[in-house]
């Protein structure tokens, strides 16, 4: 099936690039959206040479909702199945947030508000077409607030809840929503951070994402074993958890 089109938000991220490349190999059309136009142009060229039906660079800035309409309009011009994958997000160090709580606004906008508003504007189009998939990248950090990154985690938790509701709504129209909760992935975000273990490659996560889309899974952890790690972490009683440093 080559009449599929995927909107990739935050297409410069390592996970997004790996996903776009895997999709290119399947011959889909790609709208690669983000802020670094020069880098996106290289990614688009790469995806085309790797088999994408087309690959175009679009602007997307989670902090500028005024720009969302143009991207949605461009997508609507493509016939056939429309899909979207949201990789945008930001994770400032908790210490930076502690020093400047004003950063919380950006964390919420980048990880929740911008993506949710975009998806909400896109949803009617997918509903009208009666198919397609939405992939939202959450985080294991959103499963429980922890000392190390609870503002980021809180924004991701909001996004998880939003995706859950969106799935509930769009499922009725035949549109599937996948929530992806990556553990540690070998990206710029985790490069050189202390305490990393069982780090997955972006390619492995991309494969897991596309498999989840094919199998219409609802919530996946990537790699899969984070489901069990997070199950344990969620089960720790709060009186104990509040004393932990994990």
Query: What is the size of the binding site for another protein (CB under 8 A)?
Result: 16
Do residues 11 and 36 touch, judged by C-beta distance below 8 A? no
Cα separation values, 99 from 95, 107, 111, 144, 145, Å: 6, 14, 20, 22, 19
Measured from the CB of residue 192, what is the shortest distance to another protein in angstroms?
Answer: 3
What's the start-to-end Cα distance of the chain, in Å? 45
Strand partners of residue 42 = none
Strand partners of residue 211 = none
Applying CB under 8 A, does 99 fall inside the site for another protein?
A: no
- Closest CA relative to residue 113, chosen from 67, 166, 179, 158: 158
Binding string to another protein for residues 127 to 166, with x set by CB under 8 A, is what? Answer: ----------------------------------------
Measured from the CB of residue 49, what is the shortest distance to another protein in angstroms?
Answer: 4
Name which of residues 187 to 216 contact another protein (CB under 8 A): 187-188, 191-193
Measured from the CB of residue 51, what is the shortest distance to another protein in angstroms?
Answer: 8
Measured from the CB of residue 227, what is the shortest distance to another protein in angstroms?
Answer: 23
Give the residue, chosen from 7, 8, 32, 43, that forms a contact with another protein under the rule CB under 8 A.
43
Applying CB under 8 A, does 14 fall inside the site for another protein?
A: yes
Mark the segment that binds another protein (CB under 8 A) among 118-126, 136-144, 184-192, 217-225.
184-192
E strand spans, 35-185:
54-59, 82-86, 133-137, 176-182
- The residue (of 109 and 187) whose beta carbon lies closer to another protein is 187
Q: Which residue has the tokens 């198919």?
A: 131
Other beta carbons within 10 Å of 112: 23
Measured from the CB of residue 48, what is the shortest distance to another protein in angstroms?
Answer: 9
Q: What's the angle, vertex CA 32, arms to CA 59 and CA 159, rounded to 5?
A: 80
Applying CB under 8 A, does 46 fall inside the site for another protein?
A: yes
Mark the segment that binds another protein (CB under 8 A) among 58-66, 103-111, 134-142, 186-194.
186-194
Applying CB under 8 A, does 185 fall inside the site for another protein?
A: no
Measured from the CB of residue 31, what is the shortest distance to another protein in angstroms?
Answer: 18
Do residues 17 and 94 touch, judged by C-beta distance below 8 A? no
Task: Report helix angle 150-170 to 114-129, nearest 10.
Answer: 10
Contact set with another protein (CB under 8 A): 12, 14, 36, 38-39, 42-43, 45-46, 49-50, 187-188, 191-193
């Amino acid at each position: 099936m080559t009449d599929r089109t995927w909107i990739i938000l935050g297409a410069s991220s390592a996970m997004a690039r790996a996903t776009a490349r895997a999709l290119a190999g399947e011959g889909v059309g790609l709208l690669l959206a983000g802020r670094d136009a020069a880098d996106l142009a290289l990614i688009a060229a790469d995806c085309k040479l790797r088999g994408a039906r087309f690959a175009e660079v679009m602007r997307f800035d989670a902090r500028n909702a005024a720009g969302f309409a143009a991207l949605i309009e461009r997508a609507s011009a493509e016939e056939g199945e429309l899909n979207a994958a949201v990789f945008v997000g930001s994770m400032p160090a908790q210490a930076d947030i502690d020093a400047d709580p004003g950063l919380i606004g950006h964390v919420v906008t980048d990880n929740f508000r911008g993506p949710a508003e975009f998806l909400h504007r896109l949803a009617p189009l997918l509903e009208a077409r009666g198919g397609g998939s939405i992939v939202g990248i959450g985080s294991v950090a959103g499963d429980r607030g922890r000392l190390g990154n609870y503002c980021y985690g809180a924004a991701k938790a909001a996004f998880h809840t939003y995706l859950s509701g969106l799935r509930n709504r769009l499922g009725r129209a035949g549109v599937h929503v996948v929530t992806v909760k990556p553990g540690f992935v070998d990206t710029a975000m985790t490069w050189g951070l202390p305490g990393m273990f069982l780090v997955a490659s972006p390619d492995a996560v991309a494969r897991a994402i596309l498999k989840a889309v094919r199998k219409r899974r609802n919530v996946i952890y990537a790699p899969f074993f984070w489901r069990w790690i997070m199950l344990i972490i969620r089960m720790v009683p709060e009186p104990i958890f509040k004393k932990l440093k994990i």
